[in-house]
Structure 1
Amino acid sequence: MRPSFGAGWRRLLAFRLWLQEKTGGSEVHATLFGAGFVGLLGGLSSILFRRAIEFFQLHLVGEGGNLVVAAAGLSWQMRLAIPVVGGVLAGCVLHYGLRLLNYKSSTDYMEAISLGNGVVRVRATLIKSLSSLFTIASGGAIGREGPMVQLSAMLASVTGRRFGLPVPRLRLLVACGAAAGIASTYNAPIAGALFVAEIVLGTIAMESFGPLVFASVIATVTVRELWNGAPAYAIPGYQLVSIWELAPYLLLGVATGLLGPVFLSILKTGERLFATLGGNIPLRMAVGGFIVGLLSLAAPAVWGNGYDVVSAILHREPLESALLPPSALWQGVFLLLVLKVVATAATAGSGAVGGIFTPTICVGAAIGYLFGYPVHLLWPATTASADAYALVGMGCFLAATTRAPIMAILMLFEMTLDYAIVLPLMLACVAAFYVAQGTGGESIYAEAMRRKKALAPDPRLATLRVGDLMKPNPPHIGERSHFGDAARFFVSNRFNYLYVTDGTNRFRGAISLHDMKPFLHDAEVAELALALDVMQEEFPLLTPAHTLSEAMEHFGRHDGERLPVVFAVDDPVLLGSLSKRDLLLAMADYAK
């Protein structure tokens, strides 16, 4: 029986045509929608993780607020014991949890994006996050951003796999999840997108950067509405006192560029020393917790990721409170700097799950303060106070360790919302980047990625073919199908082309959305038309054996976003379709 194609369907198809003509409807919209959804999930997971930290901290320390203040109020016995207990619990969760799942290691988000297939394991991520909660809540000197980003990336991976995304697009969606995690952690959407683009993806091409920004913005809005909309660091106003002050800021960039690799070397030394304890993870983390507890007897501020220390340094007034050692101002900051570096190396080196991004910011603030203190003493009329140098030190030390100066500049600006500091910040960050790069060392993430890459198979994209990227079973209709069948497809799907096959599934042609337009004004002709009356017979075809370069040449002669993949040109059995976006993402990955 011939399907009816009434006025209602014609109006819907006319609207679909109008929408496509006005917006250029394409897969970009679907990608942005997916990025926005992942951003929402990332923001919500960030809030839940913060709540979990408060809960665990309340039961481990007895107070769910400021961790450093809580540590200062504890007896020396408890200050020493709590990090040890937290380390044992974190190590047991990690060791027995992964062994129960029969995982020797788990895929982190950087590996899933850069080296893997976009799959981030759910149970392994949850186990690592639980382990991280024990470490963070018990005073471990490590950042909460690591597990928050991992959780967000895991949710993105699950979403992408649920919708059957091909590997290049799944990797992009996981990258969107990572950007959402960074943005929601620091309330910094631009820096969140740039962090993933610069450090993980290695490109800021709009094919990938646009969705990263979209996810970061949605995640930030979610956190601001449901948690806290204030900047990460509330700071007093700063200004560039004199144009000549750019010179000491430039020297600060050089100093942090030299000290950045030293800091990374200390972290590596910590890893090597803890490796001598063998594979007993609970023991290693207990030792790491003991070192943190021991250091906290001299300065409670070594507990935690360093956020409270940075706030104290930037505001000056609280520096003489229990947050810092009870000694002279700059001597106290220097002592805290040394202890904080050792505590971070001990926590991270023991194998604790967490990030070192925030501890790096803390170290940079202390270095900047110690640099600016004598500068302001020598030239008080033409230089800002030491806390201004602490703020710039945060950014340039981040640039020196991550080798991502643009991200560092924008992150510090977003975290403080202070435009007056941008000029010296830009100068110092660029100087720190070039000096650190000149040392020949690697960034804070490069060595970990290199080790992962050495263990992973090398899927050289030069050897990939269209068959590796195509999506099987594309939408198609038979050549004897009626016009109404094609119309219903375009109304209910976002694709702009519908393939036509014969009774043996051989490709006969394609119907574009615009091919339907002439039939909308003649209902009688539309009722009689068949697919073979509307389709374009001349249409570019790909085969599974085509290289990516050859596929790109075919797309250069076609304005659509997908091309059909057939068994062979002389035997065009329809096998699948290839998306231009998937092709571009794969080629961008190869170009890194």
Structure 2
Amino acid sequence: MLRFLGLVLFGALIGGAAGLLSTAFVSAVLWLNDWLLISPRSRMMFDHPGVLMAATLLVPATGGLVVGLLHRAIPEQRPHTPADVIAAVQTRAGRLPARAGGLSALSAIVSLGSGASVGQYGPLVHLGATLGSLGARLLRLGRSDDNITIACGVASAIACAFNAPLAGIVFAHEVVLRHYALRAFAPVAAAAIVGHVIATNVLERGALFHVGDTVLPRPWEFAAFLVIGALGALVAGGYMRAILATGQLANRLPVPRELRPAMAGALLGLVALQVPDILGMGQETLRFATIAGAFGAGELVLVLVLKLLATALCLGMGFSGGVFSPALVIGTLFGALCGSLVAQLSGAQLDTFVFYAVCGMVAVTAPVIGAPLTTLLIVFELTGSYALTTAALASVTLASPIAAQLFGRSLFDIQLERRGLDLSAGRGRALLRRTAVAELKSSDCVTLPPGTTVGDAIFALGQARHGEAFLVDDHGHYVGCVSLAELEAARENGEHRKRLGDIPESPRPRLSPATSLWDAMAELQEVSGEALPLVDEQGRLLGVVTETSIARAYLQSSEELRREEHGSG
């Protein structure tokens, strides 16, 4: 009990530290936006058009150059993102490195401060997670407690960024931990509450968007919200694919990696001369998009398309930042466009316009981050409107399943799958795929040269009490496998002097040291025997992996997962 209470207290401390760091992060970005003439407020108050034009062109490009140089100090040569947080928790492969986390956060501040079309919530999530992992490492906590403290940092960051503690709690469980064990709930909740208190008392800034008194939607409008959800899934898919495709294209460019963000910044600045709405996180654009008549239909289409392409360009070319904020903006613009079209087709005064904007926002955002419950809670905590949340639920009902079927659970999961970590079938399978059978190698087997006679082989197997022998030539190369039953059958046929190399070999799968435990289990389904040979790239027999060791490793992995989620660490 004392250990659990200590973990709750430590979670609150992590939440406080993550909240303060999130506050400093946001404040630094806002200060840079004003000082570098990126924010709409600073641009409107500045009365030197020539300087403003120069800043629009030079600031994103210069910021991209700084970002590229910062990434050279990170081992992977790229910023760390929430996908790295998910991988660290789901595979138990290692804790989050503090140096890479700090450099990624600094890179994100420069990216956001110089006007890159990226988001702030992804970097905040990674920053909070890194802080939680660092705290667990300093206190020498176990792997289970490490994952919980990572989730505490994540929950605090979301609670602080959105002023939404419930959303922070659910996001940490829904996206990072991916389980709702009671042992993790209390520390994560404590962290989210502390982060929320810091946000409301220290970080004084406006809400993401304001919603006044609204009328209730007409019954037929819920059908429109469902359609927005289905179409929003396609927009989300296009957004994710654009980011991934741009990243692939960037890797084929004959340009040094550190110069790619500068190229993206220069192109972004050129487009921003005509459409400055694509600069930065786009919170002002989001707020205006929830107001009926603030944008015309043509303007909505233009800004939506350019914002999507600008974000894909910035993230794909190497700027550091998140996908959450741009998805909110793109989704809100999409929902506002749908509301405008419904108003034109119906010919009625659409006094529920904000419902369409919010439905579009959640329809695009939920599939991108893979967190439908979190997006709904953000809407509810920001607006306090049950009617608006219910309308958003109608859109999410179709958006998330359609996007999951067509594209994947989230952009993070797609990114991890491309790195070789497939979480689509759950954490248990992912862990088995990450465990190499080399760890299960055994030398307890009978090896015989191919020239051994059947009679001698039967005697050798009887002495060793094994049911099969592995044939190895003079150079140590694996030749084949024979079972005791095959040898007994040969002896009964009068072939006791026949050489083992002349006996037809039964098909037997070969494992390499890199073969995963999951693949080894699949191979065992097609074979009957004691063990599978472990062979290197040159064909030499390294040892065997027994059927019992594979089964034991599977049971041990399952038990470790159970203890990690529900036990004492």
Q: Normalising to structure 1: TM-score of the pair?
A: 0.68
Q: 1:198 to 1:422 in 2, by over 3 A?
A: same
Cα distance between partner residues in 1 of 2:568 and 2:327: 30
Q: 1:583 aligns with which of 542, 563, 568?
A: 563
Contact 2:38–2:56 (Cα < 8 Å) also in 1? no
Secondary structure of 1:228's counterpart equals: coil
The answer to whether the 8 Å contact 1:40/1:218 transfers is yes
1:391 deviates by: 1.4
1:349 Cα deviation from its structure 2 partner: 0.4
Q: CA separation of 1:239/1:429 partners in 2, compared to 1, >3 Å: closer, same or farther?
A: farther
Query: Unmatched 5+ residue regions in structure 1?
Result: 1-24, 321-328, 465-545, 554-579
Alpha-carbon distance between aligned partners in 2 of 1:243 and 1:360, rounded to the nearest angstrom: 28
Flag the 1:366–1:213 CA change in 2: closer, same or farther, 3 A: same
2:565 partner amino acid: L
Matched, 1:330 2:297: yes
Counterpart in 2 of 1:352? 319
> Secondary structure of the equivalent of 1:233?
coil
Q: What amino acid does structure 1 have at the position aligned with 2:309?
A: V
Q: 1:331–1:71: structure 2 CA closer, same or farther, 3 Å change rule?
A: farther
Q: Say if 2:66 is the partner of 1:89.
A: yes
- The answer for the alignment partner of 1:478 in structure 2 is none
Q: What is the Cα deviation at residue 98 of structure 1?
A: 2.6
* From 208, 214, 223, the counterpart of 2:184: 208
After superposition, the Cα gap between the structure-2 partners of 1:258 and 1:58, relative to the gap in structure 1 and judged at 3 Å, is: closer
Please, which of 264, 269, 274 is the counterpart of residue 250 of structure 2? 274
**Per the alignment, do residues 201 and 67 of structure 1 end up closer, same or farther by CA in structure 2, a change over 3 Å counting?**
farther
Q: CA 1:193–1:359 in structure 2 vs 1: closer, same or farther (change >3 Å)?
A: same
Q: Which amino acid aligns with 1:86?
A: G
Q: Deviation at 1:316?
A: 4.4
Q: Which amino acid in structure 2 is aligned with residue 76 of structure 1?
A: M
CA distance in 2, matches of 1:239, 1:252: 19
- Give the superposition deviation at 1:93: 1.8
Number of the residue aligned with 2:450: none
> For residue 227 of structure 2, what is the aligned residue in structure 1?
251
- Quick one: structure 1 residues 287 and 92, their matched pair in 2 at CA, closer, same or farther if it must change by over 3 Å? same
List aligned pairs for 1:130-209, cutoff 5 A: 130-209=106-185
Assess, with a 3 A threshold, how the Cα gap between structure 1 residues 279 and 422 changes in structure 2: closer, same or farther.
Answer: same
Of residues 267-276 and 110-119 in structure 1, the stretch that sits farther from structure 2 once superposed is: 110-119
Equivalent residue for 2:334, pick from 350, 354, 367 = 367
- Is the 1:241–1:382 Cα contact (8 Å) retained in structure 2? no
Distance 1:216 1:380, change over 3 A: farther
Per-residue deviation, 1:462 = 11
| Deviation digits for residues 108-146 of structure 1 (CA, Å, limit 9, x no counterpart) | 322322234552222222222222222111110001122
Contact 2:232–2:364 (8 Å) recurs in 1: yes
**Deviations for 1:416-457, whole angstroms, at most 9, x for unmatched residues?**
333221221111111111222332544211112223454999
In 1, distance between residues paired with 2:230 and 2:248?
Answer: 28
**What is the CA-CA distance between 1:311 and the residue it aligns to?**
0.7
In structure 2, what is the Cα distance between the partners aligned to 1:150 and 1:243? 41
CA contact (8 A) 1:106 1:121 kept: no
**1:451 pairs with one of 418, 425, 432:** 418
* Count, aligned residues: 446
Q: Which residue of 1 aligns with 2:344?
A: 377
Output the CA distance in 2 between the equivalents of 1:367 and 1:65: 21
Q: Aligned partner of 1:257: which letter?
A: A
Which amino acid in 2 is paired with 1:389?
Y
Matched, 1:28 2:4: yes
Question: 1:41, 1:68 → 2: CA distance?
Answer: 33
CA drift at 1:277: 2.3
Residues 272 and 54 of structure 1, relative CA distance in 2, 3 Å threshold: same
2:380 corresponds to 1:403 = no
Q: Does 1:412 align with 2:379?
A: yes
Q: In the aligned structure 2, how far is the partner of 1:350 from the partner of 1:71?
A: 30
The 3-state SS of whatever aligns with 2:394 is helix
1:552, distance to aligned residue in structure 2 (A): 11
Gap change, CA 1:429 and 1:550, over 3 Å in 2: closer
4+ residue runs over 6 A deviation: 70-73, 102-105, 455-458, 461-464, 546-553, 586-589
Cα displacement string for residues 73-113 of structure 1 (whole angstroms, at most 9, x for unaligned residues): 65333312211111111111222x236xx978868322322
Aligned mates of 1:232, 1:407 — CA distance in 2: 15
- % same residue: 25
Matches within 5 A, 1:560-575: none
Counterpart contact for 1:112–1:118, Cα < 8 Å: yes
* Residue identity opposite 1:77 in structure 2: A
Task: Report the AA paired with residue 111 of structure 1.
Answer: A
Which whole-Å CA distance do the structure 2 matches of 1:415 and 1:304 have between them? Answer: 22
Distance 1:231 1:57 in 2: 18
Q: CA deviation at 1:382?
A: 8.2
Matches of 1:445 and 1:408, distance apart in 2 = 16
CA contact (8 A) 2:216 2:352 kept: no
The separation in 1 between residues aligned to 2:107 and 2:255, in whole angstroms, is: 16
Q: Compared with structure 1, are the counterparts of its residues 294 and 189 closer, same or farther at alpha carbon in structure 2 (3 Å cutoff)?
A: same
Quick one: which amino acid aligns to residue 434 of structure 1?
Answer: P
CA distance in 1, matches of 2:393, 2:555: 39
Please name the residue that 2:274 is paired with. 298
Q: Secondary structure at the match of 1:445?
A: helix
Match of 1:288 among 231, 251, 264: 264
Match of 1:222 in 2: 198
User: Can you list the C-alpha shifts for 1:241-280, whole angstroms capped at 9, x where unaligned?
Assistant: 3122211111111111222212211111111121122572
Q: In the superposition, relative to structure 1, how do residues 289 and 81 fare at CA in structure 2: closer, same or farther (>3 Å)?
A: same
What is the rounded CA distance, in whole Å, between the counterparts of 2:299 and 2:77 in structure 1?
Answer: 44
Do residues 392 (structure 1) and 364 (structure 2) align? no
Question: Offset at 1:173?
Answer: 0.7
One-letter amino acid of the counterpart of residue 306, structure 2: L
Shift of 1:68: 6.6
Cα distance in 2 for partners of 1:461, 1:583 equals 20
Distance in 2, matches of 1:256 and 1:344, equals 17
Q: CA 1:211–1:118 in structure 2 vs 1: closer, same or farther (change >3 Å)? A: farther
Q: Write out aligned runs for 1:93-132 (5 A).
A: 93-95=70-72, 97-98=73-74, 108-117=84-93, 119-132=95-108
Give the deviation of 1:66 after TM superposition. 4.1
Retained in 2: the 8 A contact 1:129–1:147? yes
> In the alignment, is residue 343 of structure 1 matched against residue 323 of structure 2?
no
Q: Which amino acid aligns with 1:451?
A: R
Q: 1:581 to 1:284 in 2, by over 3 A?
A: closer
Residue aligning to 1:521:
none
SS at structure 2 position matched to 1:98:
coil
Post-superposition Cα deviations, 1:39-83, rounded to whole Å, max 9, x if no partner, equal 111110011112222343355x15778467579965333312211
- From 372, 377, 388, give the equivalent of 1:421: 388
- SS of the residue 2:411 aligns to: coil
1:284–1:350 Cα contact (<8 Å) kept = yes
